[in-house]
Amino acid sequence: MKGRLNRLIHHLLICLFLVVIAFCLVFSYRLSDRFTLALIVFNVFFASLFFQLNGSKITKTVILAAGNLLGLFWSWLYQNLAKVGYSFFGDSSNVVFSIVYPILTLLWMVPFWSISLSFLPQLTTSKEAAT
Amino acid sequence: MLTPVLTAFFLLTVILITAYLVRHYVFTVIVLRAAKKSTRQSPIMAGDYEPTVSILIPAHNEEKVIGALLQRIAETNYPKEKLEVITINDASRDATGKIADEYSKRYHFIKVLHRKPVEGGKGKPAALNAALKYAHNEIVLCFDADYTPHPDLVRILAAEFADPAVGAVQGRPVVLNEPQNVITRLITLERIGGYKIDQQARELLSLVPQFGGTVGGFRRNLISALGGFDESMLTEDTDLTFELVLAGYRVRYVEAAECYEEAVASWPTYWRQRTRWAKGHMQVCFKHEFAVLGSKRLTFRQKLDSLLLLNVYFMPLLSLVSLVIGVYLLFVHLAVAETLWFVVPVSMYSFVGNYAPFFEVSIGAYLDRRRQVQWLMPLMIFSFLLNMPICAKAFLSLIFDKLTGRRGHWVKTEHLGNTKTCL
């Protein structure tokens, strides 16, 4: 009974964090479609590689949701900087922001990716698991 | 007129960068899946097949490391009656020859070939060719002087030659002086990407793993048939890989054959070593590209992978050009550039040499159980920034050589024996 309850709570938590991810995607689209694209790329790479590693699904989903929240915050910060830049320098600042955006996106994505791997236990082969 | 040309070039580079990204994504997934299953068993168990082996050790001013390597090789558990070790004292000005002579007196299977300054010091391929004249055994293994092999290594590598289709075998170099400084740590990441994922994936997918010139070997009769190593090549190992593959032989990568190496520990040494690698790789690309395209022995997948492998050192250069063109196209508000621009900066987090992107390297480090070094992933950008001018210099130097007929000279990597404290 307790096991089933725990499983249910786990599933509910996973659903909750999936909702958080969905919220991030929707909200980023309201900021700009390129922010959403960055988050989609992050989610696709993360989900397809990270979820194959050891560790509970809940841990991985929490990390994925944290990555989405960080990405959203980064995009929001970036957009506000772009607005300030536009008010000072006009149209040319938009081009500059377009140029540096993917570079700055990688600046959060790469460290987040490398640190998040540290939260997972090491991979065990089926041979090791059997012993 | 200029904008359409630049747009076409930009599109081409974006396609190339995407092709490398897809390739390395597939590699990562393949190795990850294989790692979850039990370790792949070689069809040939070590010990079943024990051919006669000649080990060649080219050494030019290697007094700090040569003794440790010879001691390790003397401790190998391979049958000594099937083993000969030829140390090539390649016009050394230090005590390399003396140390090698001492080992030669202690162990009957260790021989020393002394090359005088008139004939020696002309690079590794020349030294290997000189030693091949004295090598009598079926299989030839090569080790650089800074390597530290474990006792089973020769046995594991030699056993792979039981398959007559195998022309060369490559083991896995592992950086031993990783804690020394940030450069050695970055090289550790680069090696993980290159071997743990790249080479292993190519082996698993039956593509073309690369013979790396050390921690590996080849059949003596094949190199004799080729007339020895091409001494004009600065990366004779990559050249041999394609010579063998085009002749219909397989090159195998053996993950279990780990051997420890001393990574370069200063930026000037890194610069010199990588310039030679880049230039040599480009030489091999020019030499074999069309032969690979026209080869009837290679499958479509092997051809595609070989072409990506051959062109890999052009990528930092192309990325630099596409970054500049992309910026220009964004300033003229070209829709294509605005849509595809996000692909280009990924190059900045791709290790040069195998163009391994950050996700591949970090998964490799995770599989290798090296947690701390993977935190340095963001520093990959410095490696890229350094490799852009390195590859540009190598390319210009190669073009200059072609135009003037000048012959590229071998730049020896200095080994300081820094691994001793790590053992």
Please write the tens of the pLDDT for every residue from A44-87. Answer: 989 999 998 888 889 999 999 999 999 999 999 999 998 998 88
pLDDT at B120: 78
Report yes or no: B180 and B418 within 8 Å, Cβ to Cβ: yes
Amino acid at site B313: Y
B49 touches chain A (CB under 8 A): no
Size of interface A-B (CB pairs under 8 A): 89
Residues B234 and A21: their CA atoms lie apart, in Å, by 51
Which of B33, B39, B380 is facing A127, going by the closest CB pair?
Answer: B39
Q: What is the mean pLDDT of residues A30-36?
A: 88
Residues B120 and B99: their CA atoms lie apart, in Å, by 18
Report yes or no: A32 and A75 within 8 Å, Cβ to Cβ: yes
Q: What is the mean pLDDT of residues B63-76?
A: 92
Domain enclosing residue A33, as ranges: 2-121
What is the per-residue pLDDT across B174-209, written as a single tens digit (0 to 9) for each?
A: 998 898 899 999 999 999 999 999 999 999 999 999
Report yes or no: B113 and B130 within 8 Å, Cβ to Cβ: yes
Closest CA to B312 of B358, B360, B277, B336: B277
pLDDT of B417 over the 80 cut: no
pLDDT at B331: 84
CA distance A95 to chain B (A): 6
Residue B406 pLDDT class (50, 70, 90 cuts): confident
Domain boundaries, chain B: 2-36+298-404, 53-294
Tell me which of A41, A75, A106 to substitute to probe the interface with B (most B C-beta atoms closer than 10 Å): A106
Q: What is the mean pLDDT of residues B226-238?
A: 92
Q: Is residue A45 part of a domain?
A: yes
Residue B423 pLDDT class (50, 70, 90 cuts): low
Tell me which of A44, A99, A108, A126 to substitute to probe the interface with B (most B C-beta atoms closer than 10 Å): A99
Percent of chain B, pLDDT > 70? 95
Which of A34, A117, A125 is facing B362, going by the closest CB pair?
Answer: A117
CA distance A99 to chain B (A): 7
CB atoms within 10 A of CB A26: 11
pLDDT at A96: 85
pLDDT of A95 over the 90 cut: no
Contact A127 B348 (CB under 8 A): no
Buried/exposed code over B4-29 (b: 16+ C-beta within 10 A; e: otherwise): eebbeebeebbebbeebbebbbebbb
Chain B residue whose CA is closest to A117: B366
Pairing of strands B83-90, B53-59: parallel
pLDDT at B373: 86
What is the per-residue pLDDT across B39-50, written as a single tens digit (0 to 9) for each?
A: 545 545 545 789
pLDDT at A131: 55
Provide the number of structural domains found in chain A.
1
Chain B residue whose CA is closest to A115: B375
Residue B382 pLDDT class (50, 70, 90 cuts): confident
B residues 329..358 contacting A (CB < 8 A)? 330-331, 333, 338, 341-342, 344-346, 348-349, 358
Query: Is the model more confident about A123 or about B332?
Result: B332
**Residues in a beta bridge with B260:** B148, B174
Q: What is the mean pLDDT of residues B10-23?
A: 93
Question: CATH: 3.30.365.10, 3.40.50.970, 3.90.550.10, 2.40.30.10. Which one for B53-294?
Answer: 3.90.550.10
Token code pair at residue B64 = 């700090």
Q: What is the mean pLDDT of residues B239-251?
A: 95
Contact B331 A105 (CB under 8 A): no
B41 touches chain A (CB under 8 A): no
Chain B residue whose CA is closest to A106: B346
Q: Is residue A128 part of a domain?
A: no
B39 touches chain A (CB under 8 A): yes
pLDDT at B420: 56
pLDDT at B70: 95
Report yes or no: B253 and B202 within 8 Å, Cβ to Cβ: yes
Residues B321 and B9: their CA atoms lie apart, in Å, by 9
Out of A20-24, B11-15, B37-41, B316-320, pick the least confident: B37-41
What is the per-residue pLDDT across B146-157, written as a single tens digit (0 to 9) for each?
A: 899 999 999 999
pLDDT at B309: 95
pLDDT of A126 over the 70 cut: no
Q: What is the mean pLDDT of residues B96-111?
A: 94
- In the block, residue with structure tokens 């947690």: B371
CA distance B327 to chain A (A): 7
Q: What integer best gives the mean pLDDT of chain B?
A: 90
pLDDT at A127: 58
Q: Is residue A27 part of a domain?
A: yes
Residues A94 and A79: their CA atoms lie apart, in Å, by 10
Residues B320 and B339: their CA atoms lie apart, in Å, by 18
Contact B362 A113 (CB under 8 A): yes
Query: Is the model more confident about B417 or about A12?
Result: A12
Q: Is residue A68 part of a domain?
A: yes
A residues 32..51 contacting B (CB < 8 A)? 34, 37-38, 41, 45, 48-49
* Residues of chain B positioned with their CB less than 8 A from the CB of A45: 25, 359
Residues B48 and B218: their CA atoms lie apart, in Å, by 18
Residues B229 and B227: their CA atoms lie apart, in Å, by 7
Residues B284 and B128: their CA atoms lie apart, in Å, by 18
pLDDT at B139: 96
CB atoms within 10 A of CB A53: 18
Report yes or no: B251 and B245 within 8 Å, Cβ to Cβ: yes
Three-state secondary structure string covering B333-393: CCHHHHHHHHHHHHHHHEECCCCEEHHHHHHHHHHCCCHHHHCCHHHHHHHHHHHHHHHHH
pLDDT at B39: 53
Residue B84 pLDDT class (50, 70, 90 cuts): very high
B371 touches chain A (CB under 8 A): yes
Q: Is residue A130 part of a domain?
A: no
Chain A residue whose CA is closest to B344: A102
CA separation, residue B57 to residues B67, B99, B145, B163, B267 (Å): 12, 13, 6, 25, 26
Residue A129 pLDDT class (50, 70, 90 cuts): low
**Residues in a beta bridge with B181:** none
Coil vs helix vs strand at B356 = strand
Residues A97 and A82: their CA atoms lie apart, in Å, by 6
Residues B115 and B127: their CA atoms lie apart, in Å, by 8
CB atoms within 10 A of CB B202: 23
